[in-house]
Amino acid sequence: MQISIFGLGYVGAVSLACLARDGHHVVGVDIDQAKLDLIAAGRTPVVEEGMIELMKAAVASGRVTVTRDTREATLRTELSLICVGTPSAPNGSQDQTAILKMAADLGQALREKTSKHVIVFRSTLVPGTVDDVLRPIIERHSGKKDGTDFHVCFQPEFLREGSSIRDYDKPPYTIVGARSEEPIEFLRRLFGHLPCEFHQTSIRAAEMVKYSCNNFHALKITFANEVARLCEALDVDPFEVMNLVCEDKQLNISRAYLKPGFAFGGSCLPKDLRATLYLAKNRDVALPMLNGILPSNRLHIDHAIGKVIESGKRHVAMIGLAFKTGTDDLRESPLVLMAEQLLGKGLALEIYDPDVHLSNLLGANRRFIESHLPHIGALIRRDLKEVVANSELLILGLNDRDTLKALAEYVREDHAILDLVNIGTEAPLKAKYMGLCW
Ligand SMILES: NC(=O)c1ccc[n+]([C@@H]2O[C@H](COP(=O)([O-])OP(=O)(O)OC[C@H]3O[C@@H](n4cnc5c(N)ncnc54)[C@H](O)[C@@H]3O)[C@@H](O)[C@H]2O)c1
């Protein structure tokens, strides 16, 4: 394939060398003449394991040329990879100066092009940038239409500096955000041979995945480091602890707990987190990330309450009360907290949970409801049909097949549903559906 690469930093230079190695003809473009001169001489502009040999061989193959001229590079190639830098502005926002200029220059070049061109943005871009900002710029400057005369798409780059050639050849996956099949086919030809899954999604989702991955990496590093600081204060070996934490592939290093849904609660997580934070405070160990978890969890409950209030409905049925489906444990259930707040705001509330029957509750769970929440206990009903009939809005806080099946029968068209647990397509469809954050 004839490919142009704009921006020959870590991402662009490694892509250029690897694509030329794989047999493609590559035109490298940068505004930095020094980088172009280095590549033209078969030398690498970035320090990376294996790059000296790879660049030398790539340039010796005769498949690499360089230029400062966007127009020439665009006209000579069928696909462009855009890898210019997107650094932080002083206020923390993304500095898009280079990518905005790039889009205008590309658009101008496309004006003269008679064949279709594929533009693949590989720079990390805040979600919405390609659709809302770059596409209109390219269309305006080219006088052409995306999807008809050219295609824009977004393919996040996952390589890490220091191991970038290895990461190029073995990425965690290939993700392409696009609006049609045509650019996807081009990218399958370029990257389909790599030993990983190829995923197709929307451009916005692909942009967001890149941020979510990097933020998750930052979160993991900080978690391990906060654990280590507390371990140091407690005279525990942090490597041993984190090694064992990572040994659990069921709950820790797994998909568990990584699905959007409602706030956490129950008799373990909140109390153990609080005990950890108290212990750290006593030892003068600052743990800002762990400290942020409970307030964030609380905000999630407030978010749900906000949706109920915004709906304007005053008669509410809460389906589910325990902290998770299939248990009758009410201790620190976020649904209990939500019920209290809704009552405080003067809403009429009735509650149904197939697993929670006050007469059956025992021990700490019973004491909890009797001492903390007698007023909530009085709102629990055994007849789902009646609870639904008395309400305008249903809050779905449990994912129980039988209850959902029964609900589908009782729900009316004028009902609104607030889904906290992502029952998705199984939601009783007659009602007006609202997801918590989806
Ligand atoms: N470095 C990484 O490990 C990595 C990994 C994944 C994603 N990314 C993302 O990829 C993008 C590039 O990162 P990088 O580290 O390679 O950046 P970099 O700063 O090393 O290189 C960017 C290059 O773009 C060039 N450039 C700027 N404006 C240009 C223009 N108008 N025309 C042509 N070239 C132009 C610069 O001269 C520079 O050589 C960023 O959005 C970054 O967030 C980087």
What is the per-residue burial (b if ≥16 Cβ within 10 Å, else e) of 102-132?
bbbbbbbbbeebeebbbbbbbbbbebebbbe
Max intra-chain CA distance, the chain: 83
Question: 371 falls in which pLDDT band (50, 70, 90)?
Answer: confident
Please, which residues bridge with residue 117 across strands?
A: 150
Query: 6-28, pLDDT tens digit by residue?
Result: 999 999 999 999 999 999 999 99
Ligand 1 pocket residue status of 48, Cβ below 6 Å: no
**Ligand 1: residue whose CA is nearest its atom 5:** 159
Cβ neighbours of residue 403 closer than 8 Å, sequence gap 6 or more: 319, 352, 354, 384
Q: What is d(CA 98, CA 137) in angstroms, rounded to the nearest whole number?
A: 13
Catalytic site residue from 153, 246, 268, 437: 268
Query: 48-76, pLDDT tens digit by residue?
Result: 999 999 999 999 999 999 999 999 999 99
Cβ neighbours of residue 193 closer than 8 Å, sequence gap 6 or more: none
**Contact, 431 vs 411, CB < 8 A?**
yes
Q: Is 268 a catalytic residue?
A: yes
Length of the chain (residues) = 438
Helix, strand or coil, per DSSP, at residue 318: strand
Q: What is the pLDDT at residue 359?
A: 67
Closest CA to 230 of 178, 180, 288: 288
pLDDT at 426 over 70: no
Going from the Cα of 87 to the center of ligand 1, the distance in angstroms, rounded, reads 9
Q: What atom in ligand 1 is closest to the CA of residue 97?
A: 28
Going from the Cα of 63 to the center of ligand 1, the distance in angstroms, rounded, reads 22
Q: What atom in ligand 1 is closest to the CA of residue 45?
A: 39
Pick from 14, 27, 83, 209 the residue to mutate for probing ligand 1's pocket: most ligand atoms within 8 Å of its CB: 83
pLDDT at 356 over 90: no
Question: 406 falls in which pLDDT band (50, 70, 90)?
Answer: very high
Ligand 1 pocket residue status of 123, Cβ below 6 Å: yes
